[in-house]
Amino acid sequence: MTECRWLIADILLLIARCGRLEVWPGYDTSILQFESGAGLVVDIIHKMISTETVYNVMMDIHRTAGAKFREEFVREIVGKIVITR
């Protein structure tokens, strides 16, 4: 039986800012059963998060795209993951 869990260290969140990016440290754990017993695997995983807002992206596209604003905005935003705070 395998148990996997993704954890972000919210309490000890160390944020490294580089321009419009943040690095969120975390870890991934799994417990695996081997012939001789159980084993614990821990992988360190970092997530790169953009701090740019959807509004800022929309305004940048509005300034540059002109009449093709809707098409450019849909192309840029659809399929992206948005974090709400």
Give the tens place of pLDDT for each residue, 47-73. Answer: 888 888 899 999 999 999 888 999 999
Q: Does residue 82 lie in a domain region?
A: no
Q: How many domains does the chain have?
A: 1
Q: Which domain holds residue 48?
A: 3-77
Q: Does residue 71 lie in a domain region?
A: yes
Q: Does residue 34 lie in a domain region?
A: yes
Q: Does residue 60 lie in a domain region?
A: yes
* Cα gap 58→63, rounded to integer Å: 9
Determine what percent of the chain is predicted with pLDDT higher than 70: 78
Q: Does residue 84 lie in a domain region?
A: no
* Cα gap 50→45, rounded to integer Å: 17
Q: Does residue 83 lie in a domain region?
A: no
pLDDT of residue 18: 55
Whether pTM exceeds 0.85: no
Q: Does residue 32 lie in a domain region?
A: yes
More confident residue, 11 or 33: 33
